[in-house]
């Protein structure tokens, strides 16, 4: 990769990896639905600025608008809420590692729905190793508050499944759509949905009052959503999907380091071994494919 590709790659891994820290900080004051609604709002505002400069062609059919709206729900609103809610009960490092299982779930969906992306022996081995890692990580929640710990981990895993299913669905249905439009239109639909349900789910609506919470929200919206999407699509076109997917290995490491340093999260053998198995399984699958 060229120098600017490496810089984009490192920036994307750092931004996405740090997002779990900022989510953990934000949900200490505001609810997960409010956080997601605000995060999407700042993400939309940032992408609107990009849209005004790039002037990409927008989808012109109701069918495509419906598809992009669905993608906004399954790739933004739903997983963002699940991860934010999950981090009420689990460490940010655990959330990041569990979320990094997305490529493993994507293999299953791709095998079922894409003719050119079938399951292989190496992928099956990677899937099984990754599953063992998940079991070890989940076992961390078998101590105190077992019900909420397991629920939080399950929420993040469901978010990963949602990301994976959406990736396969989008690959089949959004060919030829501008990357900026593909990022912006789903976000608009997702944010409208979030502002419709947030006042109902989290009533009375409580906005952030602490500067650190606003910093977290703005970081998640402008960097974790807007800039991250732009870097992701840049790498996708510059170095291809396989190399871009390697960023999955970066953000668990970033999140673990930040969680231990700034949030005093526990670094125990289950986190180290389980995390190593999950990340190692993804590395194995990609290097063997």
∠ CA 266-254-81, rounded to 5°: 80
Distance (Å, rounded) from C-alpha 22 to C-alpha 24?
5
Q: Are 46 and 226 in contact (CB under 8 A)?
A: yes
The domain total for the chain is 1
Task: Kindly provide the residue ranges of all beta strands, DSSP E only, lying in the chain, ordered along the sequence.
Answer: none
pTM of the predicted protein model: 0.88
Q: What is the DSSP string of 219-244?
A: IIIIIIIIIHHHHHHHHHHHH-HHHH
Token pair of 219 as six digits:
């970081």
Q: How confident is the model at residue 147 (pLDDT cuts 50, 70, 90)?
A: low
Q: Note the pLDDT of residue 71.
A: 93
Q: Where in the sequence is the domain holding 44, given as residue range(s)? A: 3-288
Element (H, E) at 36: helix 32-54
pLDDT in tens, 223-270: 999 999 888 878 877 776 656 777 777 788 888 889 889 988 888 888
pLDDT in tens, 121-138: 887 888 888 888 888 877
pLDDT at 194 over 60: yes
Q: Note the pLDDT of residue 40.
A: 98
Angle formed by the axes of helices 3-26 and 250-262, to 10°? 40
Helices (H), 142-249: 146-173, 179-201, 211-218, 228-239, 241-245
Q: How confident is the model at residue 142 (pLDDT cuts 50, 70, 90)?
A: low
pLDDT in tens, 152-180: 999 999 999 999 898 888 878 887 888 88
Q: Note the pLDDT of residue 121.
A: 81
Q: Note the pLDDT of residue 172.
A: 81
Distance (Å, rounded) from C-alpha 25 to C-alpha 31?
11
φ/ψ (deg, to 5) at 177: -85, 135
């Amino acid at each position: 990769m060229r120098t600017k590709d490496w810089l984009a790659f490192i920036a994307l891994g750092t931004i996405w990896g740090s997002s779990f820290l900022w989510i953990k900080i934000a949900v200490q004051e505001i609810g997960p639905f409010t956080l997601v609604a605000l995060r999407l709002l700042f993400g939309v505002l940032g992408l609107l600025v990009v849209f005004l400069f790039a002037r990409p062609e927008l989808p012109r059919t109701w069918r495509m608008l419906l598809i992009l709206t669905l993608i906004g729900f399954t790739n933004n609103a739903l997983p963002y809420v699940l991860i934010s809610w999950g981090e009420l009960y689990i460490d940010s490092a655990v959330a990041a590692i569990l979320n990094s299982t997305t490529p493993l779930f994507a293999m299953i969906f791709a095998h079922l729905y894409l003719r050119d992306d079938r399951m292989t022996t190496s992928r099956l081995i990677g899937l099984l190793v990754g599953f063992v890692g998940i079991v070890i990580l989940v076992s961390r929640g078998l101590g105190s508050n077992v019900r909420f710990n397991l629920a939080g981990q399950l929420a993040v895993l469901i978010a990963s499944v949602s990301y994976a299913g959406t990736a396969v669905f989008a690959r089949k249905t959004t060919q030829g759509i501008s990357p900026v439009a593909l990022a912006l239109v789903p976000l608009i639909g997702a944010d409208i949905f979030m502002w419709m349900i947030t006042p109902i789910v989290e009533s009375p609506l409580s906005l952030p009052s602490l500067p650190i919470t606003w910093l977290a929200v703005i970081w998640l919206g402008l960097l974790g959503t807007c800039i991250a999407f732009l870097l992701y699509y840049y790498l996708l076109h510059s170095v291809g999907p396989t190399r871009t997917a390697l960023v999955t290995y970066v953000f668990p490491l970033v999140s673990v380091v930040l969680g231990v340093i700034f949030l005093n999260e526990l670094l125990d053998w289950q986190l180290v071994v389980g995390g190593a198995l999950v990340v190692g399984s993804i590395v194995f699958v990609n290097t063997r494919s």
